[in-house]
Amino acid sequence: MIISRKSISRRAMLRGAGAALALPTLDAMTPALSAPAPRPMRLGFMETPNGVWMDHWTPKTEGAGFELTPTLEPLANVRDQMLVLSGLDQHQAAALGFEIGGDHPRACAAWLTGAHCKMTSGADLRAGISVDQVAAREFGKYTQVASLELGLDPPDVVGACESAYSCAYYNTVSWRNETTPLPMENRPRAVFERLFGAGGTDMKARLALRRESQSILDAVTDDVNRLRGKLGGADRGKIDQYLDAVRDVERRIQLAETQDDRELPNLQGPAGAPAAFSQYYKLMTDLIVLSWQTDMSRVGTFQVGHEMGGRSYPEVGFGDAHHSVTHHQGDPVKIEKVKQIDRFLTGLLAYHIEKLRATPDGDGTLLDNSMTLYGGSISDGNLHLYTNLPALVFGGANAGIKGGQHVRYARGTPMNNLFLTLLDKAGVPRVDKLGDSNGRLALPTV
């Protein structure tokens, strides 16, 4: 028997009026009678600032039977694909004998690098390559965008921010190499256009669409209709879900851009970001989901906020700045506020992880085919500790990771040992050393 059905290219795009839109993975992209191609593994790194209240973070027992702590309770629906990791340190964040202050910038610089940053307020910055960029060097060979570096605070703070440490150390957790920190993009429109306006899109046509408040989806309607007529029911469902997600992101960006300045008195980012922090967070993480769904990128780094930043979270019910309440000095009122902020942020994290789980990807989901680290570069924000850092790993089922467990490692275990293991499981060619790593980390496997 000869089957002559032609498959759709995995690089197929929807095009129209100068706009281009990548497609998600469809069954029709697999030639008839051939085995489905394995889906790529993606890597995500999400940093929360200023430490957490560890007593409400760390489960009391190890293994699969641990009870969710108050801070982790919002993640109950995804606990089966979550690892809680305790005992991991970033030793290179600690001060050397001659260094004064600088706890927060050193923590930022060390979190994904395992490198000790140079104390400078000038342009002679130095740290080390970060794990996300090690992955991006490999994955960027196969995707249009090597990596996304996103944040919710403006990346343009300059000068010295703490002691003699440059503000550049606060502005990012991602380093291309020892001397090149990567800015975290906080403008949703810029991220959207980087994903869906690059790769040959005519700039004048795209700007015309934006001036006319037209959707990219409106521009490719004819192409969408032709494609749907060639697809089976399962693929039509995937296309519809994906296009709904794109339109929703577009709608939210356009809504944010129409808001008057008077409606945004507390907004720290530029125009185009939603006024409510929770909506801003969700919009930016949805862009990571879209980049992975279309295989436009396989690496996403997300900085929830700057260390020592002045951001507050009115949605929690009070206006105190996050950093200020972490320096509680034992004040029970401030400690309670820290706990509320921690839980608020893990609730937003749950939204992102559940979105990954709800997004089909080949025979599984994006959560199955990704590994996301969520944690902080400081554990105790009051004492500025870099030991026993908060760390959660989500997903990775198709890389053999067995979730639903709390694993405690020996004191002094470098965080970078975890990074080497994640790179291995993601299919990055073997990396023997990263920062202060001294081996691999054993993770629960199926």
pLDDT for residue 40: 95
Q: Could you give the number of structural domains in the chain?
A: 2
Nearest to 77 by CA among 418, 403, 417: 403
CA gap 234, 249 in Å, rounded = 23
Res 199: pLDDT? 41
- Domain membership of residue 445 (yes or no) is no
Residue 395 has pLDDT above 80, yes or no: yes
Q: Which of the two residues, 419 and 247, has the higher pLDDT score?
A: 419
More confident residue, 377 or 234: 377
Shared domain for 320 and 407, answered yes or no, is yes
For CA atoms 324, 326, 330, 335, the dihedral sign is: positive
Nearest Cα to Cα of residue 390 among 372, 404, 377: 377
pLDDT (mean) for 348-362: 96
**DSSP assigned state of 261:** G
- Residue 298: predicted pLDDT: 97
pLDDT given at position 2 = 35
**Percentage of residues of the chain with pLDDT beyond 70:** 80
What is the pLDDT, as a whole number, of residue 252? 73
- For the segment 36-65, the average pLDDT, to the nearest whole number, is 94
Q: Please state the rounded mean pLDDT for residues 85-97.
A: 95
Residue with tokens 């199955």: 368
Which segments of 120-160 does DSSP mark as H helices, in order? 131-139
Rounded Cα gap, residues 269 and 354, in angstroms = 26
Averaged pLDDT for residues 359-366? 93
Residues 152 and 53 in one domain: yes
Residues 251 and 226 in one domain: yes
Residue 441 lies in a domain: no
- 405-444 pLDDT per residue, tens: 999 999 999 999 999 999 999 999 999 999 999 999 999 9
Mean pLDDT within 108-132: 95
User: Cα separation of 152 and 311, whole Å?
Assistant: 10
Average pLDDT over residues 159-180: 86
CATH of the domain at 301: 3.40.720
Task: Please list the residues that pair with 149 across neighbouring strands.
Answer: 301
Name which residue leads in pLDDT, 178 or 9: 178
Q: Give the end of a domain, one of 254, 272, 290.
A: 272
Residues 104 and 175 in one domain: yes
Residue-level pLDDT at 305: 93
Residues 169, 180, single domain; the answer is yes
131: pLDDT strictly greater than 70: yes
Contact 361, 25 (CB under 8 A): yes
Q: Region 381-395: what's the mean pLDDT?
A: 96
Distances in Å between the alpha carbon of 244 and those of 186, 197, 226, 358? 23, 18, 17, 13
Token pair recorded at residue 268: 């720290």
Q: Do 246 and 294 belong together in one domain?
A: no
Same domain? For 66 and 129 the reply is yes
Q: What is the mean pLDDT of residues 13-20?
A: 61
**Interval 268-290 mean pLDDT:** 82
β-strands 148-151, 299-303: how paired?
parallel
The residue range of the domain holding 159 is: 45-186+275-426
pLDDT at 267: 30
Task: Indicate whether 127 and 244 sit together in one domain.
Answer: no
Average pLDDT, the chain: 85
**Which one-letter DSSP state was computed for residue 168?**
G
* Strands 82-89 vs 405-414: parallel, antiparallel or unpaired: parallel
Residue 421 lies in a domain: yes
Q: Where are the alpha helices (DSSP H) in 41-130?
A: 103-111
User: 3-state SS string over 265-288?
Assistant: CCCCCCCCCCCCHHHHHHHHHHHH
Q: Residue 117 burial (CB < 10 Å; 0-12/13-18/19+)?
A: buried
* Pair 139, 280 in one domain: yes
> Is residue 323 pLDDT above 70, yes or no?
yes
Are 363 and 34 in contact, with CB atoms under 8 Å apart?
no
pLDDT digits (tens, 9 = 90+) for 178-223: 999 999 999 998 898 888 764 444 555 555 555 555 676 776 667 7
pLDDT at 68 exceeding the cut of 80: yes
Burial of 190 (0-12, 13-18, 19+ CB in 10 A): middle
CA distance 237 to 122: 53
What is the arithmetic mean of pLDDT over 316-324? 94
What is the average pLDDT across 173-180? 95
Calpha distance 154→169 (Å, rounded): 13
Whether residues 117 and 228 fall in one domain: no
Q: Which two tokens stand for residue 426?
A: 């993601």
Q: Are 295 and 9 in contact (CB under 8 A)?
A: no
